[in-house]
Amino acid sequence: MSPFSTEQVAQRVGVNRVTLERWLSSGKVERPKTIHFGRAELRYWTAKDIKQIEKYKATHYRKGRGRKKGKKS
């Protein structure tokens, strides 16, 4: 199976790419393995990474309303 791009992962999970980037930078979801390609650093997203993000989204996020109330992350 080929790796997914950050944009593809965001679309599969159903969140905006910026939201996914924010979750990554704040440490709310684990960063995927990275690959260095010349000067570029690419994320290597797998199906396991996508399931982890879907699980986080199900417990902490509601589409159109943002975070679920009463949850401290």
Per-10-residue mean pLDDT for the chain, 73 residues long? 86 93 94 90 92 92 65 55
What lies within 8 Å, CB to CB, of 41 at 6+ separation is: 34, 35
17 closest CA partner among 45, 59, 40: 45
Q: What is the dihedral of CA 70, 14, 29, 26, to 10 degrees?
A: -70
H or E segment at 33? Answer: strand 33-37
Q: The pTM is what?
A: 0.76
pLDDT at 2: 75
pLDDT at 61: 78
pLDDT at 41: 87
- Sequence ranges of the domains in the chain: 6-61
61 closest CA partner among 34, 23, 24, 31: 23
pLDDT at 32: 93
